[in-house]
Amino acid sequence: MEKLLNLKNTLIDEFNSLGIEGLHLTDLNLLDGSYINLEYTLPNGQKVKLLEDDKMYLGNQIEIDGKERCYGVAADEKYLLVCEYGCNGSDPEIVIYKRR
């Protein structure tokens, strides 16, 4: 349990240090990959999913002030993902996807 709490606190710090306007985390939740694994359209038209359906991630959703969109954040031991999307995950866009 202590290892999970340490990872959670470290990830919160990493997300907050990205400098994304309007993105400030105070908590992360355990989320099922199949629930949060959105399909993104790349500039070349290819559609991809970046997460694994059968994994658990630490993540959260943050409403963006002045927009009808949210930031979605998800992370594991290897990657950070910040995306932006509309209602019910519509029109998702990758903001940042990087190795930790």
What is d(CA 56, CA 45) in angstroms, rounded to the nearest whole number? 28
Query: Which pTM value belongs to this model?
Result: 0.93
pLDDT tens sequence across 9-41:
999 999 999 999 999 999 999 999 999 999 999
Domain region containing 13: 2-99
pLDDT, position 83: 98
Please give the tally of structural domains in the chain.
Answer: 1
Residues 6+ apart with CB under 8 A from 19: none
pLDDT, position 7: 94
Phi, psi of 10 (to 5 degrees): -65, -45
pLDDT, position 1: 83
